[in-house]
Amino acid sequence: MKCTDKNRVLECYHKHKDTIFKLAYSYCKSVSQAEDAFQEVFYKFMVNNPQFKTAEHEKAWFIRTTINVCKDLLKAKWNRDIVRLEEWDSDDEIPDAGGDVFDELREAILSLPEKYRVPIHLYYYEEYSVREIARLLHRTESAIQTQLQRGREKIKQKMEGSEKNEVESRYLRRSNGEC
Sign of torsion, CA 109 111 113 114? positive
Q: Are 144 and 134 in contact (CB under 8 A)?
A: yes
Question: What is the pLDDT, as a whole number, of residue 147?
Answer: 94
Going by CATH, does the domain composed of 1-83 fall within 1.10.1740?
A: yes
From first to last of its 179 residues, the chain has per-residue pLDDT tens of: 455 578 888 888 899 999 999 999 988 888 888 999 999 999 999 888 889 999 999 999 999 999 999 888 888 755 555 544 444 444 444 344 445 667 788 888 888 998 999 999 888 888 889 999 999 889 999 999 999 999 999 998 888 876 655 555 554 454 445 55
Residues of the chain with CATH 1.10.10.10: 97-179
Going by CATH, does the domain composed of 97-179 fall within 1.20.1630.10?
A: no
Query: 59-81: b or e for each residue (b if 16 or more CB lie within 10 Å)?
Result: bbbbbebbbebbeebbeeeeeee
The reported pTM is: 0.58
Gap between the Cα atoms of 139 and 84, Å rounded? 30
Residues of the chain with CATH 1.10.1740: 1-83
Question: What is the pLDDT, as a whole number, of residue 94?
Answer: 39
Cα–Cα distances (Å) from 175 to 162, 167, 168, 172, in that order, read 20, 12, 10, 5
Question: What is the pLDDT, as a whole number, of residue 108?
Answer: 86
Question: What is the pLDDT, as a whole number, of residue 153?
Answer: 93
